[in-house]
Amino acid sequence: MGPLVGDVAVRGSKNGVTKHLVAAMLGDSPSTISNCPDVGDVHITGGMISALGCEISLDGVNATVDPRPLNSSRVPLRFSGMNRIPILMLSPLLHRTGEAFVPLVGGDDIGARPLDFHVDALTKMGAQIEITSEGLEAKADRLRGAHIELPYPSVGATETVLMAASKAEGRTVLDNGALEPEIIELALFLQRMGARIEMRPNRRYIIDGVEKMTGASQKLKGDRIEAFSYLVAGLITGGEVRVHGCSQDRLVTAISTLNRMGAQFDITDSSVSARADHLSPAAVETNTHPGFMTDWQSPMVALFTQCDGLSVMHETVYENRFTYVPALNKMGAQIEAYNTPLGSGESRFVGSSTPCSVVVRGGAPLHGTEVVVPDIRGGFAYVLAAAAATGTTTITNTHHLDRGYNRPIENFQGLGLDIKRMSGTEPLASQPQAPPAPQQPVPVAPGSPVATAATSSTPVPTGDPSAFAPAGTTPPQPPTNS
């Protein structure tokens, strides 16, 4: 075991670039997106766009989409379940062809992410949508502006409405829209293409539809999920990682949360680094932007395992985000999960059988083991935990990491992590047309930090929070502003 030290340059996020690729289909000339990550989801999305007849070129950093040759309105079934991008293709396809078919969406198994918000919004705008066993069939002579109020500020539904409204007839007013930086980035790209989008207070967007949109160019801003995760990589091992390419304004809540725990930061216009002599426990609650991001949750829980004392994490955005906890416990962590919310607000998932909060007793030594990556973010959390563990950890299903992170193995090697792929394993990015297949184990030498992620048959322990706390204490409660 040793500290991870060094520099990591992050590129744009998969959650940003894939939506830009879809939005480019609204133009009547080519669009170029730069600073793209080399991740599997980019190639999967590129494969869908190409299958529709559009021309797309990817060189690992830049992506250019020429939407003019589009000759099909149907996304092939072979893309079913690969990621959640197909639902976003309804808007540009309806504008371009008046009809669309998209297969069932996939993505990480982190709880229910229903399509109702997307379908309801497009229906209000004049689309006729039928959900079948294979996907969604949609038709619309012309999408028209409407007043849409989302029951929850869903990122995906906000993206659907922004793209649909950009070329719809008349004005669309969207209330309770998402405000995540990736959403603002998409809105700016649409504006460059000719869309008329305004932002108002209280999560309101006003979009006046236009007849024509042209191609545009945009450089993506740095991935705030990757940036936070690599900062944690330094902290969890007692080292220091400097992250380049992600500006401070995209990490405000993350920085303040880690600072309260004892982390010290060195922040410049182009980089952020974090170090700590000692980290205190914390109580954190995920929320929509500008709250603590749900995709920061699993790296933070991994960090909690190395803090002295009891920490609490309460998840409010997704229903099933703690599937990675059993594998952390298998590595020696002491984490207890609860169906009862341990946060300041009510749970969105009342009656759910899945945990919404965990209590972490920090300071327990972690040890290497064999694990299977369950999803993108949980997978990175196991890499972090293994980096703080002793012994060898072996990872399988590493295609999840390749789907969401730009060259994670190479970045960790650059920080001093002894990690390598088994021969014959390739990242999903090199196989965009095929569903991800289980990969061979990734071994790491004994005594070295290691990457890992997994599901486990070991159940997540549940119980009364007060019973988990040491005698005379109670679990900490999450602050209202975390």
Residues with active-site annotation: 108
Q: Supply 248's token pair.
A: 């401070």
> 371, 423, 424: which is closest to 401 by C-alpha?
371
Cα-atom radius of gyration of the chain, to the nearest Å? Answer: 22
Distance, in Å, from the CA atom of 164 to the CA atom of 174, rounded to the nearest integer, reads: 11
Handedness of CA 71, 77, 78, 81 (dihedral sign): positive
Q: Supply 184's token pair.
A: 């603002």
Estimate to the nearest angstrom the gap between the alpha carbon of 135 and the chain centroid.
Answer: 23
Full strand arrangement of the beta sheet holding 309-314: 283-285, 309-314, 357-362, 334-338
Estimate to the nearest angstrom the gap between the alpha carbon of 216 and the chain centroid.
Answer: 25
Q: Supply 95's token pair.
A: 């504008």
Distance, in Å, from the CA atom of 272 to the CA atom of 470, rounded to the nearest integer, reads: 36
